[in-house]
Amino acid sequence: MRAVAVGGGHGTAVSLRALKLLTTEVTGVVSVADDGGSTGRLRAMLNVAAVGDLRKCLGALADPENPLTRSFEHRFGVGELAGHAVGNLLLVGLVDATGDLEESVLALAEVMGVSGSIVPASTTGVVLCASTEDGDTRGQSAIAGCATIRRISFEPPNAAAPIRAVEAIERADVVVVGPGSLYTSVIAAAAIPGITQAIAGTRARVVYVANLHPEIPETTGYSLQDHVDALARHGVVPDVVLVDGLGEFASSPCTIATHVSALSGGGGLVHDVQHLSDAIRAATE
């Protein structure tokens, strides 16, 4: 089975780990729109693409016994490096030296013994923009604080998707979208024009993994159908939605086929890797 996970951050890292239990042919297509925390500081300093979500997803598929993998998430605690993750600094250093985001990710993946592929959703960094009921907002961190988002767009508007990402989606048997913050993580990757077109044209079964809880204020008050409608407004129409049986969406009506099962772990705060893997298998058989 050829599998692709699309999104960013912790959610897509969980999806990658779940897919890794099902197949060795796994590709992560990851947002580069983040502008908060360590990533935001590095973007402002060096004018490079956001690397934080790429870092998390590389770690999800890397060899856990590799010394670099074990130190990748370490954050410095003092001085000018305080708050920066080792992985962010390595990625930014490679991009700054080579000028090529995709090749930098490939090089680091090889050193870390990554099983599968991690590909940025766009060939260069993008700035996330949003149209809301209160006006236009610019920047991922600012958009995450909005409660009336209608549409996401990008600067530059013609941001190109890597050929490797497009081809992986086109050849896939399953494409998993999410989980994660709906607009600032999931749609931030899936709405890159080339990615959207590839998802629309793939023969793969497209699976949307619903969040366990609302992202406040980003999706406060959203129903499951509101999530699906937001994806559709951006050209992404799933074949099936995975919903946690103990969550608030378990009995929520939806126009898309819904697969309800145990998905949560960690006290109901995060998706459980094994449970998610089992649910993806069941939804794609």
Q: Tens digits of per-residue pLDDT, 240-272?
A: 999 999 888 988 899 999 999 999 987 788 999
pLDDT at 29 over 90: yes
The total number of structural domains in the chain stands at: 1
**Residue 267, burial from CB neighbour count under 10 angstroms (0-12, 13-18, 19+):** exposed
Q: What pLDDT score does 88 carry?
A: 87
User: Cα(6)–Cα(12) distance, rounded to whole angstroms?
Assistant: 7
Beta-carbon contacts of residue 162 (< 8 Å; ≥ 6 apart): 102, 119, 120, 122, 123
Residue 78: Cβ within 10 Å count: 6
Beta-carbon contacts of residue 94 (< 8 Å; ≥ 6 apart): 104, 107, 108
Domain with 44 in it: 2-284
CATH number at residue 36: 3.40.50.10680
Q: What pLDDT score does 164 carry?
A: 97
Q: What pLDDT score does 49 carry?
A: 78
User: Cα(200)–Cα(231) distance, rounded to whole angstroms?
Assistant: 12
For the segment 96-116, the average pLDDT, to the nearest whole number, is 93
Instruction: Identify the top-confidence range among 24-38, 57-71, 200-214, 253-267.
Output: 200-214
Q: What pLDDT score does 247 carry?
A: 86
User: Cα(176)–Cα(203) distance, rounded to whole angstroms?
Assistant: 13
Residue 81: Cβ within 10 Å count: 13
Q: What pLDDT score does 281 carry?
A: 97
What tens digit of pLDDT does each residue of 140-186 get? 999 999 999 999 999 999 999 999 999 999 999 999 999 999 999 99
User: Cα(147)–Cα(76) distance, rounded to whole angstroms?
Assistant: 33
- C-alpha distances (whole Å) from 38 to each of 6, 34, 65, 243, 245 are 22, 10, 25, 32, 35
Q: What pLDDT score does 84 carry?
A: 74
